[in-house]
Amino acid sequence: MKFIIAMKESGMLLREFLSQQELSKKAVKLIKMHGKILVNGQRQTVRYCLRYGDVVELLWPEEVSTMEPYPLALKICYEDENFLVIDKPAGLPSIPTKRYPRNTLANAVVYYYQSQGIKATVHLVNRLDKDTQGLLLIAKNSYAHYLLSRDIKQVRRVYHCVVEGVLTGQGTITAPIIKDKKSVKRLIHPAGKFAVTHYRGLEVSANQSKIECILETGRTHQIRVHLSSINHPLVGDTLYDSIYQESYYLDSIALSFIDPFTQRLIEVKKDSKQFEKN
C-alpha cells in the first residue's frame, strides 16, 4: 500500500519526519528493511533532507500468510482497500489455537484472499469467542491494524444477548478482568485489566431478558463475565454459571469506526436474532 505525505516544511531529515507520523518504530524498520521509502518517486534513505513540496511514499512490504487456507464461504458485510468486516457464525473459532489449530475464521480469510489475489495476512481488530456470532473487523495490512488497534475505543461495538432473570433499564459495569490460572475462565479481580460494559434491557420473557451491550474495552469473555458478575449470566453459558444446558446467544450486531485514511465514518449493521419467547 502507499502512504503519501505532501511536505509543507523544508530542512527536515526524512528520519525526523517519519518519527512525527503515526508510525511505530517497528513499522518504520519494517518498511526500511523490506519495503521502500520514496521521495518524489526516487528511493531515499532516512538521512535525506526534505524540501518544500516533496512527496514521501511509503511502500509497505507485501504480506503473505503462512496459515493453511480453509475453503469456507464468508458473509462479507463491508470491504475496502484496508478493511474487511465479516459476519462470523457461532461455533467457528476466530484464530488458530492449540485446541483449534485449523479451520478457523482466519484460515477462511486466507482462502478468500488467495481466491481474490489479495496479498495480505489476517489482522483481527476485534475478536469474537468461538460461540459468539456477528460482525468482526479485519485489517488487511499491519499499518491499518496499528492505526485502529492503538485506540480500540473508537471502534464502537454493539452486542445483543439473552440473559437469565429480569434485567431492565440500563447501567454500566466497571470491573477488572483477569484470567483464571486453572482454566479458560475469566474472573473479576482487582489485579485484572480495566474493563467497562454498558448494558440496556430490550425485552423480557418469562425469566429471561434480551440485553444490548456496548463495549468500551475488549477483554476476553468481557460481556459474559461482566453480566454473570451481576447475577445475570447468558442463558446457556455454563462456564459462567448458567443453569441452562444449551448454546448461549451473543451476537455482534453493529460495528462502526472512523477510517484512519479517509476520516470517513464506516457503519456496519446486521439483522439481529429475534428474541425467542419461552
Confidence grade of residue 8 (pLDDT, cut at 50, 70, 90): low
Domain region containing 72: 62-149
pLDDT at 3 over 60: no
The CATH number covering residue 16 comes to 3.10.290
pLDDT at 277 over 50: no
Please state the rounded mean pLDDT for residues 109-137: 93
Whether 278 maps to a domain, the answer reads no
Residues designated catalytic? 129
Specify whether the CB–CB gap between 227 and 201 falls below 8 A: no
d(CA 88, CA 9): 46
* pLDDT tens-digit map of 28-55: 787 888 788 888 889 988 888 888 888 8
Please state the rounded mean pLDDT for residues 104-112: 97
pLDDT at 1 over 70: no
pLDDT at 274 over 70: no
Collect all residues with Cβ–Cβ distance below 8 Å to 14 and sequence separation of at least 6: 37, 39, 44, 45, 46, 47, 48, 49, 50, 56
Nearest to 209, CA basis, from 164, 154, 142:
164
d(CA 277, CA 207): 10
Phi, psi of 25 (to 5 degrees): -60, -35
pLDDT at 16 over 90: no
**Are 33 and 76 contained in the same domain?**
no
pLDDT at 224 over 80: yes
Which of 72-76, 102-106, 215-219 bottoms out in mean pLDDT, i.e. has the lowest?
A: 215-219
Confidence grade of residue 207 (pLDDT, cut at 50, 70, 90): very high
pLDDT at 278 over 60: no
d(CA 177, CA 190): 8
Structural domain count, the chain: 3
**Are 51 and 126 contained in the same domain?**
no
Which of 25-34, 93-102, 131-140, 218-227 bottoms out in mean pLDDT, i.e. has the lowest?
A: 25-34
* pLDDT tens-digit map of 139-194: 998 888 888 877 777 899 999 999 999 999 999 999 999 999 999 999 999 999 99
Whether 233 maps to a domain, the answer reads yes
Q: Quick one: pLDDT at residue 141?
A: 86
The CATH number covering residue 142 comes to 3.30.2350.10
Nearest to 1, CA basis, from 144, 150, 147:
144
**Are 71 and 176 contained in the same domain?**
no
Q: What is the pTM of this model?
A: 0.82
Whether 276 maps to a domain, the answer reads no
Confidence grade of residue 96 (pLDDT, cut at 50, 70, 90): very high
pLDDT at 104 over 90: yes
* pLDDT tens-digit map of 227-252: 999 999 999 999 999 999 889 999 99
Whether 89 maps to a domain, the answer reads yes
Task: Break the chain down into helix, strand, coil percent, rounded to 5.
Answer: 20, 35, 50
Q: What is the mean pLDDT of the chain?
A: 89
